[in-house]
Amino acid sequence: MQMESASDISIIIVNYNTIHLLRDCLVSLAQTEGQLSQIIVVDNASADGSADMVQAEFPQVVLIRNQQNAGFSRANNQGISMATRKYILLLNSDTIVYAGALNVMAEFLDRERAAGAATCKLLNADGSIQASISNRPGPVLLIWRLLGVSRLVSGDRARKIFARTAGLFMGKTVRGYLKPYSAGDTPIEVGNISGACLMLRREVLEQVGLLDEGFFMYFEDMDYCLRISQAGWKLFYLPQGEIVHLGGMSSGGRMRAYSPHSYRALFHFYRKHFSTAMVFTVRMIVFLSSSVRWLWNWIRSKFSGKPVYRQNETDLKQVIQVCFE
């Protein structure tokens, strides 16, 4: 595998108050073939000295300093506008890139001309495989997530077991969500790729355009992947390359379980791509599931001193309000 493939890549990293994680990410790139890539960091007005750290310790990195938090989509678009290479990689700041991962994606896109985007295997901090791909988004995916089934089969081993048993009695769409992440070295065509690690060919950007800045944060990757598919390109998951993704940390802190912002983005996504009837159905599904969860967390908060239940109660109340905006 030739290191020169990485020289064809512009890497966009959006940062918000993750100075230590960002440093680790940039060090991992400097210690692998990423040293040959163009690296662009867009700092969303961090208050932890992130931008100064990049300027002082990584002078080769192109640094964009925003005066306010521009959001994930707009910040990525700023970075894309500065990108000069053949491929563009959107990469979260809470990642550690292993040697070979960048080459795996770039060389695959070189070979597979029908592929518009690709990702590699994402790992949790403990080395287990992280959920980072899925079928094309639709109502089944929404129900799948709201019922918590996706968390029950988030690991590769659980997916293999479930696919061999219960998956045999389910339809093709559901079986698609149970597809194991690991398949030797065989690339897997998928419908959706996590924005934590998403490599695009420049032709896709020229045809599809930039990320939708109507998504401040959340679902911008799902929207973009759907637009890529609708334009006739294929998306692939490549198990050969590996990147650690700590998950939920690139937003400046551990992700809350029920973020009102994520549901606002969810409704924007369905308004954009589906019928009015589908949007109404989605809102009712979220309303009913959130109401049950709010009641459960309200009860738990009365009998437990754990602040997480009070936080969930507050967040879910806001989610219910978002359903009627």
**Partner residues linked to 97 by β-bridges:** 243
Number of neighbours of residue 222 by Cβ within 10 angstroms: 23
| Runs of H (alpha helix) within the chain | 19-30, 50-57, 72-82, 101-111, 139-146, 149-152, 156-164, 172-177, 202-208, 220-230, 260-273, 276-303, 307-322
- Verify that 97 and 32 share a domain, yes or no: yes
Residue 150 covered by a domain:
no
For residue range 50-59, what is the model confidence (pLDDT) as tens digits? 999 999 999 9
pLDDT value at position 218? 86
Containing structural domain, residue 63: 3-132+181-245
In a domain, 279, yes or no: yes
Domain annotation covers residue 168? no
User: Distance (Å, rounded) from C-alpha 46 to C-alpha 68?
Assistant: 8
Residue 144 lies in a domain: no
Q: Is residue 16 part of a domain?
A: yes
- The predicted structure's pLDDT at residue 207: 97
Which phi-psi region, left, alpha or beta, contains residue 248 (left: φ > 0; alpha: ψ -120 to 50)? Answer: left
Number of domains in the chain: 2
Residues 196, 290 share a domain: no
Instruction: Give yes or no: residues 75 and 192 share one domain.
Output: yes
- Shared domain for 125 and 267, answered yes or no, is no
Q: Is residue 13 part of a domain?
A: yes
pTM: 0.86
> Are residue 188 and residue 316 in the same domain, yes or no?
no
- All residue ranges of the chain with pLDDT < 70 are 1-3, 137-184, 248-257
Asked if 7 and 40 sit in the same domain, the reply is: yes
221 and 283 belong to one structural domain: no
What pLDDT, on a 0 to 100 scale, did the predictor assign at position 1? 44
pLDDT tens per residue, range 264-283: 999 999 999 999 998 998 89
